[in-house]
A and B are shown apart, each in its own frame.
Chain A
Amino acid sequence: QKEVEQNSGPLSVPEGAIASLNCTYSDRVSQSFFWYRQYSGKSPELIMSIYSNGDKEDGRFTAQLNKASQYVSLLIRDSQPSDSATYLCAVTDFTGANSKLTFGKGITLSVRP
């Protein structure tokens, strides 16, 4: 049974700070990693995907992947109140048609003005 663990929240940071969200996964064959943002009452929205070790930057977001340690993280620089949401880590593998996303339980981020 694949497991995706996200560190317990909620996480509160002041505006302008760096928010660091972490995720670990149990299945070593996992190959694809995604971060989704979900505002209250809304649907999950894909914000980052990462497939190889290292960092991937997109605007204020940086995803970091370390397959040896089986963790993936999301850094949000210059956090804004509009970043306040639940962030879901999701993991999948390359096993073809029956590949599926396994989601973590999410961590709620609150950015204080």
Chain B
Amino acid sequence: DTAVSQTPKYLVTQMGNDKSIKCEQNLGHDTMYWYKQDSKKFLKIMFSYNNKELIINETVPNRFSPKSPDKAHLNLHINSLELGDSAVYFCASSQGAGGPRNEQFFGPGTRLTVL
């Protein structure tokens, strides 16, 4: 049983294109996150949603737009892709936010390569 799943696993695209990554969790968690891990392996939060409501929006370009149709799904749409967007994007979920409820479980990641 996959707890946090992401599609696609790999995404190769040209600069300027628009792409989406989908995430689903079957853990019954209330909070979901998007992280970016760059080539130096530094993992940085981009967004978090709690029960479909945007909670955290780090300094991410407007070209990135998350959407949460329900608390089990969190998608990430990226417009006008740039070379610097190449990274691995991880979705994660937790029971809630704050303290022990913030134990986060990660999806397998989506490796995005922008040419």
A: residues with CB less than 8 A from B are 31-32, 34, 38, 42-46, 49, 51, 86, 88, 92-103, 105-106
Contacts and interface: CB of A to CB of B under 8 A. Distances in A.
Interface string B24-61: 00000000010000001111110010100001100000
Interface string B61-79: 0000000000000000000
Contacts of B100: 32, 49, 51
22 contacts: A34-B103, A38-B41, A42-B109, A43-B90, A43-B107, A43-B108, A43-B109, A44-B106, A46-B103, A46-B104, A46-B105, A49-B103, A51-B99, A92-B98, A94-B99, A97-B50, A98-B48, A99-B99, A100-B48, A101-B45, A103-B43, A106-B42
- The bracket for how many chain B residues form the interface is 20 to 34
Describe B's contact surface by its main secondary structure: mixed
Nearest to B51: A97
A42 B41 contact: no
